[in-house]
Each structure stands twice: as C-alpha cells, then as structure tokens.
Amino acid sequence: TGTTGPALTSLGFKPVAKSLADKVIVPEGYTAQIIYALGDPLVAGVPAFKNDGTDTAFDQRAGDHHDGMEWFGLDASGKPSNSFNSRGILAVNHEATTDEKLSSFFIHANGGASTLPRPASEVDKELAIHGLSFVEVQSSGKQWAYKASSPFNRRVTSMTTAAIHGPARGSEHLVTKFSNDATQCRGTLNNCGTGKTPWGTFVSGEENWYGYFFRDAKDDDARKKDKQVQALNRYGRKAGAASRHGWESAGPQDQYVRWNNSAHAASAKADYRNEMNTFGYVVEMDAYDTQAPMRKRTGLGRFAHESVAFAKPQAGQPIVCYMGDDARGEYIYKFVSDAKWDPKDASPANRLAAGDKYLDKGTLFVARFKGDGSGEWVELSMKNPVIANSSYFEFKSDADVAIFTRLAADAVSATKMDRPEWGGVHPITGEVYITLTNNSSRTAATTDAVNPRVYTDMKGSTEQKGNVHGHIVRMADASPAGAAFKWDIYVFGAEADADKSTVNLSNLTDENDMSAPDGLVFSPATGICWIQTDDGAYTDKTNCMMLAAIPGKLGDGGARTVKHGDKTVTTYAGKTPTPTTLARFLVGPRGCEITGWCETPDGRAMFVNIQHPGEGTAMADVNDPAKYQSQWPTNAGYGAGKRPRSATIVITKNDGGVLGT
Ligand code: FEO
Ligand code: CA
Ligand code: CA
Ligand code: CA
C-alpha cells in the first residue's frame, strides 16, 4: 500500500472499470455516501425538497450544478480548525442549471416556459439557484450528514451584493444604475472552479457569465464611440445575442432588466450597459462569517475563470496563484502579489482584510509557451509598453487591463490553449499542473508544441475533430515571482485502444484511460493528484470519472514527435504512467460530470460533487421518469421524486484509512 504523505510512490487501491451504470462506483473497500443535493433545505422551517418542480425558496436551499468545493474545518466548539476531522463547512459552487430552450426544466412544474417573455416566478427560482452555498457537515463517527439548520449555512446568489476590489474599483466601465460610483455590484454567476487562500478564505471563479446577458440587435449603433463594442465581441456578446435564460424578459423590475446589457438610457448611470463588466472575476468569501461581504478581486483579471491554484506561501515572498480561462484558444494566467507573505497571516484576525492585502495589489501575467520546452510570463499592465501603446485596443489604465484582460493578453500574443481548466500546485515540487480539457477548434495547422494533438478520425466518438480528449500541461517557474518557466505535458487523455503514435501518446490502459480532464486538485494529506473528467467524447463507453495520480516531475519523459499529415510537431511528454501511478478511482452516474474536491485534514474523508446527472434528458420528457437519462440520486435512496439532482458525496475507506493509499 506504499507510504502515506506527499512522498507516496504507489497508489493503494484496485482501479475501477469504466462504466455506463447509473450509479457512483468506487474501489473495493471504499464507500460513497450522498450527503447534500440540489434543493436540500439550509434553514430551519424550509420544507423538504419535493423534487417535482413545485419547490420554491431556493435562496434557502442548496443551489444547482454543484461544482468546485473547499473544506473549512471547525472544532467541537465551532471555532475554525485545521486539524479537527469530523466537523466543517463545505463551500460549494452552484455553477448552472440543466436547461433547454431557456428553461431550467427540472426545477419547474411541467418543465417551465420555453418562450419569451419568461414568467417572473420561474426566473426568480433560477436567479436564486445560481451562486454559492456554505453548508455545515459533520460525522457521527460512522456517517456524515449535512446540518439543515446550522448557523454557518449561507446562500449567495446572482442577486447578493458584492464589493468591487482591486484596480477596477471605481472604473467608468463598471458604472451601473445600481452603483453610480462603480464600487458595488450584484451577484456571482456560473461559479466553476475554486481555491482556498493561504489566509483561510474561499475563492470562486466566475466562468460562463456572458451567456446570461442579452444584447439588443442595434446595440453597436447605440454605442458608436464606445470602445467596449470591440470588447463585447471579444467576450462573446455580439449585438443581437440572446441570453441563456431570458431573465431580462421577465418584467420591468430592476432584478430582470439588469440582464439586458444594451445601452439605452442617456448614460451608464441610468441603465445596465456595463452590468456584464461586473462579472468574470474571482470572488472571495469568508466561509466562517455569514455576515462577511463578497468581494470581487478584479486584480486577478476578467475572463472565464476556472480555479485559483495558490503556490505554497513562503515567508517574505509574494503570494502567487495560477488560473485558467476556459474557452477554446484562451490563456493561462498567473497573479503575483505586491505584499510579501507574513506567516502570521495564516490565521489572521480579519480574513478578508488579508485578502485585501494580498489580492488587491499585484501583477497579472499571461503565459507564452515556446517550442523548446521553455516559456515566459508576460506582464499585463500599463508598465508593459506593448499594452500601453497597443494599436489593437486602447488601454487607458490598469483598470482597463483588469476588465478587458483577454484583449490585453491578445495584445502581447499569449499562447492560445486547448481550454485551460483547473490548476493545482504539486506539494513537493511546486510544479503547476493545468488541465486542457479539449478543443474542437484546434486544427492540424494551428497545432503547436504545447497543444500538439488533433484527430481527424475518431471512430465511435461523439466529437470528431480537434483535440478531442485533452491533456494536462505541467509548468515549473524558475522563481515564484519570475518570468521564466519550463513546461512539459504530464499526460494526454485517450481511449486505451487508440493509436499510440497519434492519439494515445501516454500509453493509457484500461485502468487509467480517460477523456477531457477538468477538475484537478492535489491532496494536502497524501500528495495524490485527483483528476476529474467532464467528457462528451468517451461517453459511449464510460460515464465521467475521477482518477488518482502520482505524477512525477517535469522532464521525466522526453521529446517526442506527433505527425499531422505533412506537419510534424515536437512536444515534451512526461514519463508514461502505470496503473500504480495513474488509476481510475470513481465513475459517476449517467450524464454527470465529476467536479469539486476537498478532504478532511487527515485525508480520511473526501468530498466530491456529482454535477448534472441526467443532463442529456430532453425537456419534453420532464414528466416521464422512464425517459430520464439518470434517476440518480433517488435511485440510490436519497430524497423524494425521480428527477436527477446534482449532489455532494463523501467517500471513506471502510477500514478508516487514508484515501487512495
Ligand atoms: Fe465550468 Fe470549465 O468548467
Ligand atoms: Ca470545470
Ligand atoms: Ca469542463
Ligand atoms: Ca458541467
């Protein structure tokens, strides 16, 4: 079973087989228990979830699409603790909803309305079901359960007031009818990956927020002299763009019209043309204080944020964190604080004040990879003349860089990646691992050393082109705050029986083959790297999964070539994994994605989210359970009704041992 602790050299469980069953599968000797699902009450007096589309009061219930998640320990007396193992607060992202034709159909009776205008009663539920939840969980010694009426329970929704912090605070581009001085905004949206700061707070990335906004077909004309038209297009909101749920259509009230991102009043102070600019950030919360405000940390840039991976803090050195922008051809970023780490801040009197200290002032960098296995972090600020003098986009200040970050990264010719998702920092080597989940837009002509793979013929795959299965890039900074790095590719996702010279480059086997890595977290207790998939390409053979990895270090493989017709790309691949260094640990129910990972400090209880089981169900079948793609978790005995629900599970070893070892 190997040693425990971050020096672990061999995984200690029997890998689970690929599966299409509608259940959670974990290795022999392990148990998975469902503890916290969509709609579960968080406040005393809120009725049990009926799960038939009639439930209301979602601002007092668990939200939908559980995603990234972090553990905040409590001791027996309810004080913050990093060593107590049977009581804590889970901070959970509620990314989105299972939807079709505007409606989040599993939370509405008969599936809801699929035409505009959307009924206000349905939109009110959808506004409340997005955001974050903080929920107390505890173990009796035998079983874990969430507490339905803990004073630590809290919901944050798309309507919760937030304070704008960092360089964009007060910017003209954040002026709205709600906050004429651009110091406040409302809500957090499409929260995807997470992070835990060295000072003990929760951070959450706002990912696909732009899809929630409507833009009038004539909005470009209305904004003729507004440089934002270029930015709106770059961020995926062309004039005439419809919104994902039609929230803007539900009525004339402020909470609905704020989703209309068009300029129609005399000035930005009287409409919501800038509302979209108030999303796309990392938000910081204090999980231990239900009264603490939400802060948008604009210094970390505005893009489709996934997770925030903090390097191990070192006394007297800046705080460093790594972030991916999850869209096709987007970039990898790093933030370096101005303030130097004071170890006393590991347990500060005021956690959000520590966040102000380390996250409000600093420098954002974007990664430029070179073909020789090296790379460079390029500064994104007005100090970089390429940005200050850019003819591509007019940057007037560091606030503009913080708000229009993608354009700043374009201006310095950063490397376009195959959808950067979660990042993790290896507890011993300090090397950074970032999942590149897949990229259907990658072509043979645009392959490069760090995005070297495309398919032209994927038999049995639902997705036929681009980098279908994704890969995981590994980076080593020469110094924490420095510009130079080295990189290689830890592993390429692939089907085990695929061609080993063009597709299955990492020689994956039945024990560890996978597609579309997304979640990635290193266990502080064991050093195991947990990898989670969000896949649409291998789902004819297996549901999404979680694997455990002991990933070695940069440079442990070597250069290798990949051929695309006439073109040959040279890349750098890690040492070939074996079933004792990379193995499938869990397979989820049908239609789900596996995401979110945290554990108790002793590494003996692990929390994982099963996101959107049954996502492939048609809205027309909402009242016909026999046609649901999944009936999990009710088919596992959890809760009422048959509609599938996103949920948190806890995994323990039957002998009480440390997970994965
Ligand atoms: Fe929400 Fe990039 O996954
Ligand atoms: Ca994700
Ligand atoms: Ca994903
Ligand atoms: Ca998903």
How far does residue 192's CA lie from ligand 4's centre (Å)?
Answer: 9
Q: Measured from the CA of 207, which atom of ligand 1 is nearest?
A: 1
Q: How far is CA 249 from CA 120, 212, 221, 257, 272, in A?
A: 9, 12, 22, 7, 14
pLDDT tens sequence across 287-341: 999 999 999 999 999 999 999 999 999 999 999 999 999 999 999 999 999 999 9
Can you tell me which residue has the tokens 């951070």? 203
- pLDDT tens, residue by residue, 596-652: 999 999 999 999 999 999 999 999 999 999 999 999 999 999 999 999 999 999 999
Q: Above 90 in pLDDT, residue 460?
A: no
Q: What is the pLDDT of residues 462-474, one digit of tens each?
A: 446 899 999 999 9
* 330 Cβ closer than 6 Å to some ligand 1 atom: no
92 Cα–ligand 2 center, Å: 13
- Whether the CB-CB separation of 84 and 74 falls below 8 Å is answered with yes
Write the pLDDT tens digit of every residue in 97-139: 999 999 999 999 999 999 999 999 999 999 999 999 999 999 9
DSSP conformation class of 49: P
Distance 593 CA to ligand 4 centre (A): 6
306 lines ligand 1 (CB under 6 A): yes
Considering every ligand atom, which ligand is closest to the CA of 535? 3
Q: How confident is the model at residue 224 (pLDDT cuts 50, 70, 90)?
A: confident
192 lines ligand 1 (CB under 6 A): yes
The alpha carbon of 67 and the centre of ligand 2 are apart by a number of angstroms equal to 7
pLDDT in tens, 376-430: 999 999 999 999 999 999 999 999 999 999 999 999 999 999 999 999 999 999 9
Which residue carries 């999990």 as its tokens?
632
Instruction: From the CA of 419, give the closest atom in ligand 1.
Output: 2
Residue 1, pLDDT > 60, answer no
Task: Kindly report, residue by residue over 510-534, the tens digit of the pLDDT.
Answer: 999 999 999 999 999 999 999 999 9
Ligand with an atom nearest the CA of residue 327: 1
| Both structure tokens of 607 | 């929390």
Is residue 457 scored above 60 in pLDDT? no
- Atom number of ligand 1 nearest to Cα 208: 1
Specify the residue for token string 């020096």. 7
Q: How far apart are CA 533 and CA 78, in angstroms?
A: 35
584 or 1, which is more confident: 584
* Amino acid symbol at 130: H
What are the tens digits of pLDDT across the range 128-155?
999 999 999 999 998 999 999 999 999 9
**For 14-37, b where at least 16 C-beta lie within 10 A, e where not — what string?**
ebbebbeebbbbbbeebebbbbbb
206 lines ligand 1 (CB under 6 A): no
Atom of ligand 1 nearest to the CA of 437: 2
624 alpha-carbon distance from chain centroid: 32
Task: Tell me which ligand sits closest to the C-alpha of residue 192.
Answer: 1
User: Does residue 633 have a cis bond before it (omega within 30 degrees)?
Assistant: yes
Residue 218 has pLDDT above 60, yes or no: yes
Strand boundaries in 1-158, DSSP class E: 30-37, 66-73, 87-94, 131-139, 144-146, 154-156
Per-residue confidence (pLDDT) for residue 225, from 0 to 100: 76
Whether 593 lines ligand 1, by a CB cut-off of 6 Å, is no
pLDDT of residue 2: 39
Per-position DSSP letters for 529-594, written without gaps between them: EEEEE--SSSTTT---EEEEE----TTSSEEEEEEETTEEEEEEEPPPP-TTTEEEEEE--TT-EE
For residues 637, 642, 645, 648, the Cα torsion angle rounded to the nearest 10 degrees is 0
Give CA–CA dist 259/276, Å, rounded: 8
Q: For ligand 1, atom 1, which residue shows the shortest CA distance?
A: 192
Tell me if 326 CB under 6 Å of ligand 1.
Answer: yes
ipTM value of the model? 0.94
Nearest Cα residue to atom 3 of ligand 1:
192
The pLDDT tens digits of the residues spanning 192-206 come to: 999 999 999 999 999
Contact 594, 66 (CB under 8 A): no
- Ligand minimally distant from the alpha carbon of residue 596: 2
Is 535 close to ligand 1, i.e. is its CB under 6 Å away? Answer: no
pTM: 0.98
- With pLDDT > 70 as the criterion, what percentage of the chain qualifies? 98
Q: What is the pLDDT of residues 28-78, one digit of tens each?
A: 999 999 999 999 999 999 999 999 999 999 999 999 999 999 999 999 999
pLDDT in the model for residue 459: 54
Q: Could you say which DSSP state residue 345 is in?
A: G
